[in-house]
Amino acid sequence: MNYTILIADDEPEIRTLLRLYLENENYQIIEAENGKQALELLKKEHVDLCLLDIMMPEMDGYHVLQELRKTSNIPVMILSAKDADSEKILGLNLGADDYLAKPFNPLEAVARVNSNIRRFYALGTAELSSNILTVRDLELDPEGCVLKKKWRTD
């Protein structure tokens, strides 16, 4: 299966570098140069993992992450020049799955992407949706603790 990675970073050099390495691993790549564009792409495109810079124009990565977590639990890796422990802790507490400080080794970034994809998709997390229980107009995802009501259109 081909996985799609969103690279959201305001530095074109970083996006290009990551694109080259990730495409070499057969990932499909889409790019955003600011937080607002990243959020729009996350809403309209199928994305399997997001590489997210913190310091971006229009909307920073923390706000993008907060908005994304309202509707999705895809893996998110933060790439940031902010390498203080407090920044890493904040990013992870907001819902990031990994945090990689800039400058980084692109081979390490690829290894971390592979690890997050493997953990999330290949080891069963993506299969949780098959355990959804349906009763009349209610759907319960016991693993995600989410109950949804299906609305009738007739």
pLDDT beyond 90 at 132: no
pLDDT beyond 80 at 97: yes
Average pLDDT over the chain reads 88
Rounded CA-CA distance 43/70 in Å is: 11
pTM: predicted TM-score of the whole model, two decimal places: 0.77
Crossing angle of the two packed helices 85-93 and 61-68, in degrees rounded to 10: 20
Rounded CA-CA distance 91/66 in Å is: 10
pLDDT tens digit sequence for 16-69: 999 999 999 999 999 999 999 999 999 999 999 999 999 999 999 999 999 999
Provide the pLDDT for residue 144: 64
What counts of helices (H) and strands (E) characterise the chain? 5, 8
Provide the pLDDT for residue 1: 62
Rounded CA-CA distance 127/121 in Å is: 8
Provide the pLDDT for residue 154: 52
Q: Identify the band that residue 129 occupies on the pLDDT scale cut at 50, 70 and 90.
A: very low
Which is nearest to 67 in space by CA: 108, 37, 26?
Answer: 37
pLDDT beyond 70 at 128: no
CA-based radius of gyration for the chain: 17
Rounded CA-CA distance 139/150 in Å is: 7
Rounded CA-CA distance 39/19 in Å is: 19
Q: Identify the band that residue 136 occupies on the pLDDT scale cut at 50, 70 and 90.
A: confident
Which residues are paired to 77 by β-bridges?
51, 98
CB distance 2 to 28 below 8 Å: yes
